[in-house]
Amino acid sequence: MNGLRKNRAALTLGTLGLLLSLGSMQTFAQQSPQPGSVAQTQAALPPALRAAVMSGNQQAITQAINTLSAGNPQTAGVLAQRVAAAAESMLAVNPQAAVADANAALGVVRQPAVAQANPQAAMSTMTTAARISISPAAQSASPAGVAGLAQAIVQLAANPAVYGVAPAAAIQAAQNALQAAQSPAVVAANPNAAVQVTQAISQMAASTTLSAINPTNAAQLNAVLAQTTQTIQATSGGGMNNNTSSVPQASGGGGSNSAPAEPPRNNASPS
């Protein structure tokens, strides 16, 4: 009888030790570093699209999305959103490819059918591209590419379907596009980009359609343009300076940073 009790006690202690060991292993696993974001975002891409993204080949990216989406604009938007996310993850290691990838993704979601069918993916792609555009690494590696990003961003931000997803994010993306277009490297590569982006923002401010969506649209965008004018005047003796101030937020919204807040992602898998 005593032997049985001893065996039961030993078994209980052994089980307790095993549970404690498993708990420690689980805690260690939770604290262990997770896979890098580059690998994660690239893993979300089909092989052909992944190869095009890694090479920074805009034409190949567009062709791959067209093939994989099979004419479905909803799927095309999801794929473009994933390309933009992969581009942002590559920014630190290959900024030139990141800019090219972001331009390709914007080219897809700027298509009217895609923007209308999947405005959430278009918004997510745009805000990601806006963050890339204000990166000094991107501006240094591909100033002409950043100029293209800036122009595409404001054109997409003015789309009512996309703007309506998150007006504050669209306005912030437009401000970032202007900031990028006015950076010294981008001005040297494409002096007209800042003028074109400024004109596009002025048209957004005057849009009755956008103001119907967001009553403070004109005030916010005019504030962006006023801040830009003040910055240029203050730095007229030594070139343009990057404007990093945030635009006033619409009533009911929180504060905003220079990089647009990421709207909810559309994670539907391409069919």
Q: Is 3 left (phi over 0), alpha (psi -120 to 50) or beta?
A: alpha
Q: Considering the domain boundaries, does residue 252 fall inside one? A: no
Res 238: pLDDT: 41
* 36 backbone dihedrals φ, ψ, rounded to 5°: -65, 150
Range of the domain at 79: 38-234
Q: What percent of the chain has pLDDT over 90?
A: 66
Q: Considering the domain boundaries, does residue 261 fall inside one? A: no
Comparing CA positions, the residue from 115, 88, 114, 111 lying closest to residue 101 is: 88
Q: Considering the domain boundaries, does residue 196 fall inside one? A: yes
Residue type, position 215, single letter: P
Q: Considering the domain boundaries, does residue 240 fall inside one? A: no
Q: Considering the domain boundaries, does residue 14 fall inside one? A: no
Grade residue 262 by pLDDT with cuts at 50, 70 and 90: low
pLDDT digits (tens, 9 = 90+) for 103-121: 999 999 999 999 999 999 9
Q: Considering the domain boundaries, does residue 142 fall inside one? A: yes
Q: Considering the domain boundaries, does residue 147 fall inside one? A: yes
Res 259: pLDDT: 53
Q: Considering the domain boundaries, does residue 30 fall inside one? A: no
Q: Under 8 Å CB-to-CB from 119, ≥6 apart: which residues?
A: 159, 161, 162, 164, 165
> CA distances (Å), 125 to each of 18, 45, 131, 218, in order?
48, 15, 10, 24
> In the predicted model, what is the mean pLDDT of residues 31-49?
64
- Per the structure, the count of domains in the chain is 1
